[in-house]
Amino acid sequence: MKIPFSPPYINDGVIKEVNDSLLSGWITTGPKVKKLEELVCYYTKASNSLCVNSATSGLILALKWFGIKEGDEVIIPAYTYVATALAVIHVGAKPIMVDVEDDFNISVNNIKEAITPNTKAIIPVDFAGWPCDYSEINNLVNKQKSFFKPTHPNQEKLGRILVVSDAAHAIGAIYNNSPIGVATDITVFSFHAVKNVTTAEGGCVCLNLPQPFSNLEEYNFMRCFSLNGQTKDAFTKSKAGGWRYDIIYPGLKINLPDVLAAIGVAQLPEYFSRILAERKEMFKYYQDFFKTKSWAILPLYKNSQKTSSCHLYALRIKDISEKQRDVIIEKIAQANVAVNVHFQPLPLLSLFKESYAIEKYPKAYNNYKSEISLPIYPQLTTKQLNYITQTVSNAVKSTLNEKVI
């Protein structure tokens, strides 16, 4: 039996929607993108949403919108994919990395200690689809208003640190009885090929800005900015007599094309009506198996405040070394089961290790050295899930018995 880690979910509905886009004669940004934005708003309750070509671009756009620049600081977790940090770097600001908690998510206490007068934004990351402690983070930035030093009109308007949720893993997650998408000022989802909902490549920026902001006005600004600052998109320009346009911002070129949006248009309703529930059942299957193992640390699924989107099943093995974890993964691979590790903490990467010492992020490292992400997607059968769990269990037991150092 051969089991891949995370193949895309493509069914007849997706193929039909993509063919419709191809046969329409219009494949770049147009009606399919608009439909996807409407669907995202419907399912997340966000006021407005803008689809872009990646979650990374969405984070960059959000930071640029807020006027973040060289000399500014943005607080991020040390345990995240590199895109979170690169978005900060690409606007000229400095990523301020802080350690995480045992649940892999950013520590609110560490955020508090890291805030300075140069702090302009915080980017919490919903690891594996498990929501961060947003009430505490939002309360913190409101308490820090007197220390905030605005240098841009939008910063003056907000009057505090901006909170941008990196919810790349989290579409479908719940926080305080509301969908992720309205927990912070701005939420950014990923529609990359391995995510719960995909457009092959893509992302979405959801706006939930407080008064006196108009989310529609800010959506219109971001939409224009995502198209090179051009006042008309290509679809509008293609209409008879609609050729004239202007460039009003030094924008980016990060729009999502219709032919990709079509995948998401087909997937999103099915995800919320069926696939998300199936992912939860698979997550519970793993929980029921591994809760009987003394060596297993189970990922969080639900509590009184939060419900995971079950994007990853991030299993950890108690009291093992990084080398032991790697041996376990090799044994699982030999049985033709593809697993992964999410993520290498940023201070371990060559780009950051000279400026950020991993010793300052002990929880991030301890989580990483024992983590193995197991396959979880709607195509998996019960027979395959049983094979995965038995394979993982056998690999762990044999490695622990060998006492690999």
The CA distance from 254 to 247, in Å, is 15
The CA distance from 337 to 330, in Å, is 10
User: Can you spell out the DSSP letters for 196-207?
Assistant: SS--SS-EEEEE
The CA distance from 1 to 82, in Å, is 33
The CA distance from 136 to 405, in Å, is 40
The CA distance from 200 to 259, in Å, is 10
User: Can you spell out the DSSP letters for 213-279?
Assistant: --HHHHHHHHHHHTBTTBSS-HHHHTSTT-----B-S---B-BPPHHHHHHHHHHHHHIIIIIHHHH
The CA distance from 114 to 135, in Å, is 18
Active site residues: 195
The CA distance from 355 to 361, in Å, is 13
